[in-house]
Structure 1
Amino acid sequence: MTIIAIVSQKGGAGKTTLAVHLAAAAERRGEVALIIDADPQATASQWAAWREDQPPEVIDSAPPRIAAKIRQAEEAGATFIVIDTPPHADAAASKAMEAADLVLIPCRPSAFDLAAVKTTAKLVKLLAKRAWVVFMAGAPQAERLHADAGKLVETYGIAACPHRIADRAVFRHASALGRTVFEIEPDGKAAREAERLYMWACEQVGLTTCDYVEEVTR
């Protein structure tokens, strides 16, 4: 079973967008995916309610119960779990990271968001976890901006993921409908970005598939 924790100390970083699309991509690849919503705002849970029981499943959890919820999910057959955590909550972040095989830190390429990565980076180091920053909601063609942001987060001891999720209206449109970009625009740029990120994450945890090279080079 694969467990990915989505952690950021900054609100509005794109945690839930990242969580639901990783889980949805896993379902598309034949995994039994589950999102553990540890955020009191329950955004992922609301998204699931709008979906009317379509997978991936979302369950809520208080931070102290995350490990128990993971055990129950594994017994029920889950093979891919994404933990969506709240901002400004070290306890929840710690519990999620402790359980995770991989930590992803969503971050907009802006000064305030980049500064917030420092706190999460300290926690990553303390728990000795493998982690990457995933840039979210930046301009699609802003290569220089993302390169500079990547260099900055490296000074915190965290590398930037080579794939990012750009600011595309289809992500907002899909979320409002309780859907994903795979369902709204399956052949669109947003779907390709989310799929590439998922395949890259699989590689990091040893779930490389024969499709990975083909997918990331399209």
Structure 2
Amino acid sequence: MPTVAIISQKGGAGKTTLALHLAAAAQDAGRVSLVIDTDPQATASQWAAWRKDQPPEVIDSPPPRLAAKIKQAHEQGAEFIVIDTPPHADSAARAAVEAADLVLIPCRPSAFDLSAIQTTAKLVQLLRRPAFVVFTAGPPNAPRVYEEAGELVEGFGTPPCPHQMPDRAAYRHASAEGRTVMELEPNGKAADEIRQLYSWTCLQVDVSTPRHKGRVAA
């Protein structure tokens, strides 16, 4: 079953928000999903505590234990694993990329953020993992902004994902309550964007339609 790594050497890119929502979308779709939190700040783990351990499951792991944790999760029935990583941590990013079937690089569509992802782009190219840039926290209705940003990251050798996670208040409100945007506003724009992003991600890792729901054993 697929493992998706969310990496970016720049802070504030929306890694944890992307990781949690991808895993939640997989759970909503009937897959047993898991988030592995490698960030010492443990933001994903805190979110899980706020929601009183409702799925998706979140566990922590130091980078050297990541491969073993993934193997154990598969043995316990995990069907979709998302790795959340800290910024400015080469060892954690490398371990996540090595363990992943697909790498997603969240990035704000601004000049400084776009320039900062070149280090991440070089890492995924060095390790020969399929990777895409997911634009986050940009304006909701600015196709030209995303088009120009996409052209730039193409030049780095990391194509843009065709789906974005624009800046929407629903993410802030949901996170503060230990929820997802799909739970907060099931028919909202943010929820629809996450579902589209999840469906696209499944196509990249060749995931078939699941047949049942469940969660990973503790």
Q: Which residue of 1 aligns with 2:41?
A: 41
Q: Deviation per CA, 1:145-169: give whole Å up to 9, x if none.
A: 1111000011101100000001000
CA RMSD of aligned residues (A): 1.0
Q: Deviation per CA, 1:20-53: give whole Å up to 9, x if none.
A: 0000000011110000000011110000000101
Secondary structure of the structure 1 residue equivalent to 2:55: coil
Aligned partners of 1:156, 1:189: CA distance in 2, in Å? 30
Aligned partners of 2:208, 2:147: CA distance in 1, in Å? 26
Aligned partners of 2:4, 2:199: CA distance in 1, in Å? 13
State TM-score, norm by structure 2.
0.95
* Partner AA of 2:78 in structure 1: A
Q: Which residue of 2 aligns with 1:169?
A: 169
**Is 1:98 matched with 2:98?**
yes
Q: Which residue of 1 aligns with 2:64?
A: 64
In the TM superposition, residue 72 of structure 1 has moved relative to its aligned partner by: 1.0
Q: Which residue of 1 aligns with 2:214?
A: none
Q: Deviation per CA, 1:115-166: give whole Å up to 9, x if none.
A: 1110000001100000000000100111111111000011101100000001
Aligned 8 A contact 1:3 1:81 in 2: yes
Tell me which stretches of 4 or more aligned residues in structure 1 moved more than 3 Å.
Answer: none
Aligned 8 A contact 1:199 1:208 in 2: no
Secondary structure of the structure 1 residue equivalent to 2:98: helix
In the TM superposition, residue 76 of structure 1 has moved relative to its aligned partner by: 1.0
1:47-126 pair list within 5 angstroms: 47-126=47-126
1:120-199 pair list within 5 angstroms: 120-199=120-199
* Partner AA of 2:140 in structure 1: P
* Partner AA of 2:154 in structure 1: E
* Partner AA of 2:172 in structure 1: R
Q: Which residue of 2 aligns with 1:214?
A: none
* Partner AA of 2:175 in structure 1: S
Aligned partners of 2:168, 2:16: CA distance in 1, in Å? 15
In the TM superposition, residue 209 of structure 1 has moved relative to its aligned partner by: 4.7
In the TM superposition, residue 208 of structure 1 has moved relative to its aligned partner by: 5.0
Higher relative CO (Cα under 8 Å, sequence separation at least 6) belongs to 2
Aligned partners of 1:208, 1:80: CA distance in 2, in Å? 11
State TM-score, norm by structure 1.
0.95
Query: For the structure 1 residues 162 and 194, does the alpha-carbon distance in structure 2 shift closer, same or farther, using more than 3 Å as the test?
Result: same
**Is 1:10 matched with 2:13?**
no
Aligned partners of 1:115, 1:49: CA distance in 2, in Å? 35
* Partner AA of 1:193 in structure 2: E
Aligned partners of 2:69, 2:96: CA distance in 1, in Å? 11
In the TM superposition, residue 207 of structure 1 has moved relative to its aligned partner by: 1.4
* Partner AA of 1:202 in structure 2: C
Aligned 8 A contact 1:23 1:56 in 2: yes
* Partner AA of 2:196 in structure 1: R
What runs of 5+ residues in structure 1 fail to find an aligned partner? 211-218
